[in-house]
């Protein structure tokens, strides 16, 4: 009978040890998730916050709320773990995973078709930023995730919210521009970044152009500025204001199936561009490389300085860099080196003669003092049809953030998802070592328990 009781005691002891190990594992996992203390053995510290972010969070004096929502079964572990890190790094930051759309604020709309979002806001919901999960990544041409941008984006949003200042995009009207009401996707995209988008009349005496909060945008003007408007724009520029011009030499009329050219001279707008050492060429860029063509030879893919995603432009001319002292130039859209240029007339008559092939600038930012002017030689790249294309939408977001006068660059680097074979082997070894340690500790506890009970059994005999 004593032997039976002893065996039962051994079995119960082992069973209790196993239960304790399971409970301990659950508790540790809960603590890791709740406090953001999970071991990060990724190559670039994807699940860790940089010292810069920790400094910013350490300086918070007001509450920041972070929420995330996604379709069932499509949760992103990288994003979830990163957001847990933010919540654990500051008592002023809270993170909540939303389980249904009924929990979303009234103003919310999904940034894209993925129906996923990270929302960063103040405690009142009056200032906010919304990013889709896709916004937090860079993608290769075949759609593979290559770079994680989560920390840089989220920390920037927190910085701007705590400063209480977000820029306003003023879109001009009164010069034959594409009206804002026809640019629904463009407006929604900027509003989801918490930028106010307003249509303005430059001739209004009540208009205030604050260079610290306003980004001035003109989209395909067909008529020139008035003298008083030109002076207001130049005063804004000289005070440090930033301007974006989307200019067109021609557009393709899909309904009529032919090219529509613009012949009106715009001397004051040209003078504005020349003051920054920029100009617009008279010819249209095209390619015979079918892998670059979108719908026609003059609708083609171009390289984008902000990411690896291509941007589709149509009937674009070359943005000329004429060079000027004390002005810095940055090419942001560039064709591949298999492109040619052709006059609008020859393009209309379909006279395409092979000429010297080279790369062309179709988007350039010029910086003079504290002011910047961006010239892009195609406005259709921000049309509703174009912004369905992921590369175009991403480009507009990145360009807007680049040109915003109070946009804060936190200098937090992007984190590559590419793992070299050597790094992968190190990670595998670490994983195996952890597994062996856990197994050894569990086995040791069970062994010690059995030994103790064995000695107890001998004493009882």
128: which DSSP letter? E
454 or 101, higher pLDDT: 101
Question: Over the stretch 124-166, which tens digit does the pLDDT of each residue have?
Answer: 888 888 888 988 887 877 888 888 888 988 988 898 888 776 6
pLDDT of residue 73: 81
Report pLDDT for 82: 94
For the domain with range 51-161, which CATH number is right: 3.30.565.10, 3.40.30.10, 3.40.640.10, 3.20.10.10? Answer: 3.40.30.10
Q: Which residue has the higher pLDDT, 80 or 256?
A: 80
From the number of C-beta atoms within 10 Å of its C-beta (0-12, 13-18, 19+), residue 225 rates as: buried
Place 37 in a pLDDT band, splitting at 50, 70 and 90.
very low
Q: Taking 90 as the threshold, does the pLDDT of residue 80 lie above it?
A: yes
Between 44-53, 178-187, 346-355, the lowest mean confidence (pLDDT) is in 346-355
Residue 138 and residue 147 in contact, taking contact as beta carbons nearer than 8 Å: yes
Q: What is the largest CA-CA distance in the chain?
A: 110
Q: What CATH number should be reported for the domain whose range is 166-403?
A: 3.40.50.880
Cα(365)–Cα(328) distance, rounded to whole angstroms?
8
Q: Which two three-digit tokens encode residue 125? A: 């919901």
* Cβ contacts of 265 within 8 Å, gap of 6 or more: 224
Secondary structure of the chain: what % helix, strand, coil (to 5)? 40, 25, 40
Assign 415 to helix, strand or coil.
strand
> Does the pLDDT value for residue 175 go beyond 50?
yes
Whether the CB-CB separation of 56 and 93 falls below 8 Å is answered with: no
Task: Report the predicted TM-score, pTM, of the whole model to 2 decimal places.
Answer: 0.62
Instruction: For residue 399, give the nearest of 270, 277, 242 by alpha carbon.
Output: 242
Sign, CA torsion 219/224/225/230: positive
Helix or strand (DSSP H, E) at 118: strand 117-122
Residue ranges per domain, the chain? Answer: 2-39+420-460, 51-161, 166-403
pLDDT in tens, 249-258: 877 766 666 6
Kindly tell me if the per-residue pLDDT of 202 is higher than 50: yes
Which of 387, 383, 394 lies closest to 219, judged by CA? 383
Question: Are the CB atoms for 117 and 135 separated by under 8 Å?
Answer: no
**Reported confidence tier of residue 171, pLDDT bands at 50, 70, 90:** very high
Helix (H, G, I), strand (E, B) or coil at 55: helix
3 sits in which H/E element: helix 2-35
Confirm if 330 and 364 have CB atoms less than 8 A apart: yes
């Amino acid at each position: 009978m004593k032997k039976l009781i002893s065996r039962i005691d051994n079995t119960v002891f082992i069973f209790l040890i196993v239960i304790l190990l399971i409970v301990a594992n659950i508790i540790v996992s809960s603590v890791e998730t709740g406090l953001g203390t999970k071991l990060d053995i990724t190559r670039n510290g994807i699940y860790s916050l940089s010292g810069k972010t920790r400094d910013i969070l350490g300086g918070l004096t007001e509450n920041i709320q972070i929420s995330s929502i996604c379709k069932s079964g499509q949760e992103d572990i990288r994003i979830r773990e990163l957001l847990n890190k933010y919540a654990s790094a500051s008592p002023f930051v809270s993170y909540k995973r939303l389980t249904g759309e009924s929990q979303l604020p009234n103003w919310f709309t999904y940034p894209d078709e993925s129906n996923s979002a990270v929302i960063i806001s103040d405690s009142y919901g009056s200032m906010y930023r919304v990013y889709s999960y896709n916004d937090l990544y860079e993608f290769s041409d075949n759609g593979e995730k290559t770079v994680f941008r989560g920390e840089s984006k989220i920390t920037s949003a927190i910085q701007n919210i705590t400063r209480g200042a977000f820029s306003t995009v003023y879109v001009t009207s009164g010069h034959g521009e594409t009206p804002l009401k026809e640019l629904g996707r463009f407006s929604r995209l900027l509003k989801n970044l918490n930028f106010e988008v307003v249509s303005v009349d430059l001739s209004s005496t009540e208009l205030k152009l604050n260079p610290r909060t306003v980004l001035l945008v003109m989209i395909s003007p067909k008529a020139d500025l008035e003298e008083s408007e030109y002076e207001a724009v130049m005063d804004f520029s000289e005070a440090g204001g930033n301007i974006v011009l989307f200019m067109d030499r021609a557009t393709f009329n899909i309904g009529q199936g032919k090219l529509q050219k613009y012949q009106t001279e715009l001397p004051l707008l040209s003078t504005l561009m020349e003051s920054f050492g920029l100009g617009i060429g008279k010819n249209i860029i095209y390619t015979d490389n079918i892998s670059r063509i979108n719908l026609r030879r003059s609708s083609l893919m171009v390289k984008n300085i902000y990411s690896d995603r291509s941007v589709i432009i149509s009937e674009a001319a070359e943005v000329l860099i004429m060079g000027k002292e004390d002005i810095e130039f940055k090419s942001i859209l560039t064709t591949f080196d298999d492109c040619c240029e052709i006059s609008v007339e020859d393009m209309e008559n379909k006279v395409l003669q092979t000429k010297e092939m080279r790369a062309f600038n179709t988007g350039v930012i010029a910086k003079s003092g504290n002011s910047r002017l961006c010239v892009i030689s195609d406005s259709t790249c921000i049309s509703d049809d174009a912004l369905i294309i992921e590369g175009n939408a991403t480009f507009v977001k990145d360009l807007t953030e680049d040109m915003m006068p109070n946009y804060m660059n936190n200098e937090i680097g992007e984190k590559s998802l590419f793992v070299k074979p050597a790094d992968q082997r190190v990670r595998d070894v670490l994983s195996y070592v952890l597994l062996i340690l856990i197994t050894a500790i569990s086995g040791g506890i069970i062994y010690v328990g059995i030994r103790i009970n064995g000695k107890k059994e001998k004493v009882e005999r």
